[in-house]
Structure 1
Amino acid sequence: MIQKSNSTVSVNLSTIGSNIETLSTHVQDNVRIMGVVKADAYGHGATEVAEYIQPQVDAFAVNDIEEGIELREHGISKPILVFAVPEKRFVTEYRVHNLTATVSAIEHFDWLPAGTSYHLNFDTGMGRLGFLPEQVETVAELVDNNADLFCTGVYSHLATADTAGSERVIRQYKLVKKIRSYLNQELTIHIANTGGTVFYDFDQFSMVRLGIGMYGYAPGDSVIEGIQPALTWKSRLVQVKKIQATDAISYGAEWQAPQDGYIGVIPVGYEDGIKRNLSGNLTVLIGGKRYDVVGNITMNFCMVYLRSDQYSVGEKVELLFQGNTAKEWAQKVGTIPYEILTSINPKIPRTYIS
């Protein structure tokens, strides 16, 4: 894959490691940690992140089997759980690459070849994938009747653990506790995500899944003390030119210069992951000063009003940085940091600090 040269994403691996240490203070004794590195580790680079944090976690989670294979090909030896529904054409790859499948429907027992390890997924309130709790006796019987497959765990997804005090979270926890009573007590049980781990004090069972918290963000609008964003994003000015008062900028000519000054052009746009609906609501850092991005963000460029300041072509532009993180971007457009981070084009080169 040819990398883009218009900007650079920097990932501080030691920050991710430090975030795990902070989050670990909320993990109960004898409870293991699963590091969630799906979606290319939320845009941070799955193989690099997994290689660095492997000593700190007990297992990994990915979304699809291709992600799991990539980790194995880069020397990741810890258990890897694949969340997605098994695809018939790829089911033999679970055994070939020692990956753990997810069984979330009755037909999956027929799809997986003998010798495959799997975790059961129960839908206790997410309304997405998984067996319903009332199916647990049937599922337990299917587990016994498919002895050529190896059930090693049970999990569920919390729907409302972004903040403390959710009654739905408590109901989901109680359902998992009931489900566990029908199954082998030695199975790995996991339900708590970052929010469930930090904001709730219920039994964490065998394992917790740390995702967004590892990368320095709390879920929702909550705050987790002691964690820091690990990713920054920088570009540069590719053109600087004079503009006069009332000159219009970008598609639609919706923004006009309030006075004479300078416009800087940054070679990143919505193809790169800067959401178009950030137009008129985004600042960047140049020379230690904040400037407004003006006019509509385009596919490959965005423009910044430099006021009366003149910079040279090639001047560094900071896009995501402390004080202007994915959380700030997300709040401006009504989304979540997960979407901002995973929208950054994977062709943009990542550099790593450890």
Structure 2
Amino acid sequence: MHSKQALLRDFVADCGEDAGISDPDAMVQTDRTMVQDPTMAGSVAVNSPAAQVETVIDLDAIAHNVRVLREYAGDAGVMAVVKGDGYNHGAAQVGRAALAAGAVELGVTTITEALDLRAAGIDAPILSWLNAVDADYTAAVAAGIELGVSSVWQLRAIEQAARATGVTATVALKVDTGLNRNGVSDMEYPQVLALLRELVDERAVRFRAIFSHLAHADTPQHPGNDRQRDRLLDAIAQAKEFGLEPELAHLANSAAALARPDLTFDMVRPGIAMYGLSPLEETNFGLRPAMTFQAQVVLVKRVAEGEGVSYGHEWVAPRDTTVALIPAGYADGVFRPLGGRISVRIGERDYPSVGRVCMDQLVVDLGDDATGVAEGDTAVLFGGGPGQTHPQRWADLLGTIHYEIVCSPRGRVVRRYVGGGACS
């Protein structure tokens, strides 16, 4: 194995600054393949056997998708949203690839997520917008995290953290323009502005941005999108009445960034599109799915006609056949209701699952074409490659969205990285 120090020097020399990496010890890359190490904030290359079940994350696909989004954004910047551990793709690794491909900052929900990115050596701007009363605002201010403000109490908490650290806090006002979740309400907004004015004058706080979130972005022409745009403009105008001029305004998520150029403002905040999944059913916008969910075949065996397979024998072999055992079940993110309803790709062929999905395994019927399948072969559950089941297929079967599908692999699933992102 190459020395860690040499690899880090090479990486940082090639793309560390572009990727917003200030601490090279946060990551190691060997042969362009990385495996997540749960004891580190970054990734570490290891010489180990292939995992029984894994997600393979293509960082080149992430970089490609960011470049697509940059084209749609025009003059607006791109904030790469890496909340939820990068939609289960790995926040730090995705964040580095996105920044190197031209994103200007990262977005997360919690302070903990933001601090993890700092610990991983990423010093690019990071916005955190959803935090509880007892969140560590002091650590966030000290680390230079931009904090979304949705209430007077939250702004007071940030004020206290700024005074405790002696560091000017950076804030962004999140205004509720109609989604009615997180965000400053119309009634409280004047109070927030008055307090913010005081804190800006005292240089306890830097006012960076005003932003909001769309309720109907996946229906681009819905009139609610226009109403929310107008309400955001009104909120900006109201802030200016207090002498508060935001440096940035942003509203557009993935769908709006791709389909409503009039809503880009100064920056867009793509999430799901960056991972290669289209927020709109009618087109994929040239996006490339970044996650492949796969497992090794652990057993190939004959099953006689009339014999049942898996719990409850919900499937009985209609003929002498051969089945393959895949070591992935609902503990790994393969939803139990998918039993007997999905196909698994082994080599160049799709094979139907049969019987119930169990906690640890599922079974596929190889039929008469068993000679080309052996223990150790790779079985793709879903992915974005040619012929592979798209995550949307699982979503359709389950009555959900592809966001939930890519967020589902968990437990024993090992995350592995391929590609060099924008540094290839």
TM category, shorter: over 0.9
For the Cα contact (< 8 Å) 1:7–1:349, is it kept in 2? no
Q: Shift in Å at residue 104 of structure 1?
A: 0.8
Q: Shift in Å at residue 211 of structure 1?
A: 0.9
Q: Shift in Å at residue 267 of structure 1?
A: 0.5
Residue 38, structure 1, aligned to residue 83, structure 2: yes
Tell me the residue number matched to 1:71. 117
Q: Shift in Å at residue 300 of structure 1?
A: 0.9
Task: Tell me the alpha carbon deviations over residues 97-155 of structure 1, each in whole angstroms, 9 at most, x when there is no partner.
Answer: 21111211221122222232221111212221111235432321121133323321111
Task: Tell me the alpha carbon deviations over residues 174-227 of structure 1, each in whole angstroms, 9 at most, x when there is no partner.
Answer: 110110111233332111001111111324221110111111111152423211
Q: Shift in Å at residue 352 of structure 1?
A: 2.1
Give the distance between the partners of 2:399 and 2:295, measured in 1 at CA: 25
Q: CA RMSD in A?
A: 1.9
Shifted more, 45-54 versus 307-316: the winner is 307-316
Tell me the residue number matched to 2:215. 159
Tell me the residue number matched to 1:315. 377
Residue 181, structure 1, aligned to residue 234, structure 2: no
Q: Shift in Å at residue 87 of structure 1?
A: 4.0
Tell me the residue number matched to 1:327. 392
Choose which of 116, 122, 126 in structure 1 pairs with 2:175: 122
How many residue pairs were aligned?
353
Choose which of 157, 167, 170 in structure 2 pairs with 1:111: 157
Give the distance between the partners of 1:50 and 1:40, measured in 2 at CA: 10
Secondary structure class of the residue paired with 1:107? helix
Give the distance between the partners of 2:175 and 2:312, measured in 1 at CA: 49
Task: Tell me the alpha carbon deviations over residues 145-166 of structure 1, each in whole angstroms, 9 at most, x when there is no partner.
Answer: 3332332111111111113211
Tell me the residue number matched to 1:47. 92
Tell me the residue number matched to 1:349. 415
Taking structure 1 as reference, are residues 186 and 349 closer, same or farther at Cα in structure 2, changes over 3 Å only? closer
Tell me the residue number matched to 1:8. 54
Give the distance between the partners of 1:133 and 1:119, measured in 2 at CA: 16
Give the distance between the partners of 2:228 and 2:312, measured in 1 at CA: 49
Tell me the residue number matched to 2:147. 101
Q: Shift in Å at residue 7 of structure 1?
A: 1.7
Give the distance between the partners of 2:191 and 2:208, measured in 1 at CA: 17
Choose which of 190, 205, 208 in structure 1 pairs with 2:250: 190
For the Cα contact (< 8 Å) 2:151–2:188, is it kept in 1? no
Give the distance between the partners of 2:407 and 2:302, measured in 1 at CA: 35
Give the distance between the partners of 1:250 and 1:68, measured in 2 at CA: 44
Tell me the residue number matched to 1:24. 70
What TM-score, normalized to structure 1? 0.94
Give the distance between the partners of 2:342 and 2:83, measured in 1 at CA: 28
Give the distance between the partners of 1:64 and 1:222, measured in 2 at CA: 33
For the Cα contact (< 8 Å) 1:58–1:78, is it kept in 2? yes
Give the distance between the partners of 1:258 and 1:213, measured in 2 at CA: 43
Task: Tell me the alpha carbon deviations over residues 69-121 of structure 1, each in whole angstroms, 9 at most, x when there is no partner.
Answer: 12111221111011212442512111222111121122112222223222111
Taking structure 1 as reference, are residues 287 and 14 closer, same or farther at Cα in structure 2, changes over 3 Å only? closer
Give the distance between the partners of 1:156 and 1:80, measured in 2 at CA: 16
Secondary structure class of the residue paired with 1:41? helix
Shifted more, 151-160 versus 179-188: the winner is 179-188
Q: Shift in Å at residue 245 of structure 1?
A: 2.1
Unpaired segments ≥5 residues, structure 1 = none
Give the distance between the partners of 2:199 and 2:260, measured in 1 at CA: 35
For the Cα contact (< 8 Å) 2:79–2:106, is it kept in 1? yes
Give the distance between the partners of 1:204 and 1:249, measured in 2 at CA: 53
Tell me the residue number matched to 1:240. 300
Give the distance between the partners of 2:235 and 2:354, measured in 1 at CA: 54
Q: Which amino acid aligns with 1:42?
A: Y
Secondary structure class of the residue paired with 1:198? helix
Secondary structure class of the residue paired with 2:269? strand
Give the distance between the partners of 2:174 and 2:369, measured in 1 at CA: 57
For the Cα contact (< 8 Å) 2:208–2:248, is it kept in 1? yes
Tell me the residue number matched to 1:298. 358
Secondary structure class of the residue paired with 1:312? coil
For the Cα contact (< 8 Å) 2:151–2:192, is it kept in 1? no
What TM-score, normalized to structure 2? 0.79
For the Cα contact (< 8 Å) 1:85–1:103, is it kept in 2? no
Give the distance between the partners of 1:332 and 1:260, measured in 2 at CA: 29
Unpaired segments ≥5 residues, structure 2 = 1-37, 40-47, 163-167
Give the distance between the partners of 1:144 and 1:221, measured in 2 at CA: 44
Taking structure 1 as reference, are residues 11 and 204 closer, same or farther at Cα in structure 2, changes over 3 Å only? same
Residue 150, structure 1, aligned to residue 150, structure 2: no
Q: Shift in Å at residue 320 of structure 1?
A: 1.6
For the Cα contact (< 8 Å) 2:57–2:415, is it kept in 1? no
Taking structure 1 as reference, are residues 25 and 108 closer, same or farther at Cα in structure 2, changes over 3 Å only? same
Tell me the residue number matched to 2:129. 83
For the Cα contact (< 8 Å) 1:136–1:182, is it kept in 2? no
Identity of aligned residues (%): 30
Residue 58, structure 1, aligned to residue 78, structure 2: no
Residue 138, structure 1, aligned to residue 211, structure 2: no
Q: Shift in Å at residue 265 of structure 1?
A: 0.7
Q: Shift in Å at residue 319 of structure 1?
A: 1.5
Give the distance between the partners of 2:404 and 2:123, measured in 1 at CA: 29
For the Cα contact (< 8 Å) 1:10–1:352, is it kept in 2? yes
